[in-house]
Copies of this chain bind each other. A is one copy, B any other.
Amino acid sequence: MAETNPPPEAAVVELLGLLAYAELVAFDRMAADARLAPDLQRRAVLSEMAAREIDNYCRLADRLRELGRDPDGAMRPFVQPLQEYHEQTEPNDWLEALAKAYIGDGLADDFYREIAGFLQSPDKELVLDVLHESRFEEFSAAEIRAAIAADPKVSNRLSMWARRLSGEALSQAQRVAMEHPELATLVLVGSGDQAALMALFKRLTSAHSARMTSIGLNN
């Protein structure tokens, strides 16, 4: 397993490049979404969430440079799929923006947490460190729960939105896996075998469903 056979550096560089660009573009989108906030206080929270993505970007870019890679080059292959994800999931209002942060970041964090298990130090710790802070998750969850409590119809609308988010995330993830066999191999080899990989996907799906339910959305 990962501890005994280190993953090839090329795959690690691809992973770091993917993560770095994901942070950079998440920053950009969240910063724009903050304008949807109903007041300055809430706008500041989403802006702060966005700012944390840039701090994480810097750490990932530093690590890429340490490995002798140019962050630009490492990120470039992931520009298209991540851009498409965000273009297909542009929030129309504040609640959609929060649901996107909550659902999307939750799914991404679960996935990266699994992958971190296949890495060695210091990349393992780095990937775990750049996961999202739970206080932002709690903020988004509380806002969505309050909105549903005030108007139960909101639940249906956001449930549909969440399905669109996870569908689009899945289809871009498949595309990345197809275009980056080394990255796909990292996940497959890290898992151990096909059955373990299926179990991993099942864990991701269950956690996603649980997250939906916990804020009052239905799968």
Say which residue of B31, B40, B47 sits within 8 Å of A32 (CB atoms).
B31
A118 near B: Cβ within 8 Å?
no
Which segment of A68-76, A134-142, A148-156, A208-216 sits at the interface?
A68-76
Task: Give the nearest-CB partner of A34 in chain B.
Answer: B28
Closest-CB distance, A130 to chain B (whole angstroms): 14
A50 near B: Cβ within 8 Å?
yes
Residues of B contacting A108 in the complex (Cβ-Cβ under 8 angstroms):
none
Closest-CB distance, A101 to chain B (whole angstroms): 15
Contact check, B44 vs A54: say whether CB atoms are below 8 A apart: yes
Closest-CB distance, A207 to chain B (whole angstroms): 29
Contact with B along A14-27 (1 / 0, CB 8 A): 00000001001001
A39 to B50 alpha-carbon distance, docked (Å)? 20
A43 near B: Cβ within 8 Å?
yes
Residues of B contacting A79 in the complex (Cβ-Cβ under 8 angstroms):
40
Which segment of A3-11, A55-63, A165-173, A184-192 sits at the interface?
A55-63
Residues of B contacting A71 in the complex (Cβ-Cβ under 8 angstroms):
40-41, 44
A55 to B21 alpha-carbon distance, docked (Å)? 22
A43 to B28 alpha-carbon distance, docked (Å)? 10
Q: A24-B40, A48-B58 are in contact. List 19 more A-B contacts (CB 8 A).
A: A21-B40, A24-B43, A27-B31, A28-B31, A28-B34, A28-B35, A28-B47, A31-B32, A31-B50, A32-B32, A39-B72, A40-B72, A40-B79, A41-B72, A44-B61, A48-B54, A48-B57, A50-B51, A51-B54
